[in-house]
Structure 1
């Protein structure tokens, strides 16, 4: 099992595009991922770290 920060980093940087193409149907808390994605999009650059 991934730790919380690693899960979020991998989710937003790697898994989200695949989830979106599947319609987010099997993703827990998809509304939270969408909110995070919108927040990140407002910034020119985001650096992630565990």
Structure 2
């Protein structure tokens, strides 16, 4: 299987549009959570826990 490498984190991704889209969305959510940490660390921890469950 041909793979792609994420330019942000170096993760190896399958050459599949949906997999790349999900990974890109994960990065976008992570950026929002990091911004949330400054406002509400407790809420940010809850969101990070949910992200871990989602993969």
Tell me the TM-score range normalised by the shorter chain.
Answer: 0.3 to 0.5
| Greater strand fraction, Structure 1 or Structure 2 | 2
What TM-score, normalized to structure 1? 0.35
Higher relative contact order (CA 8 A, sep 6+): 1
TM-score by length of 2: 0.33
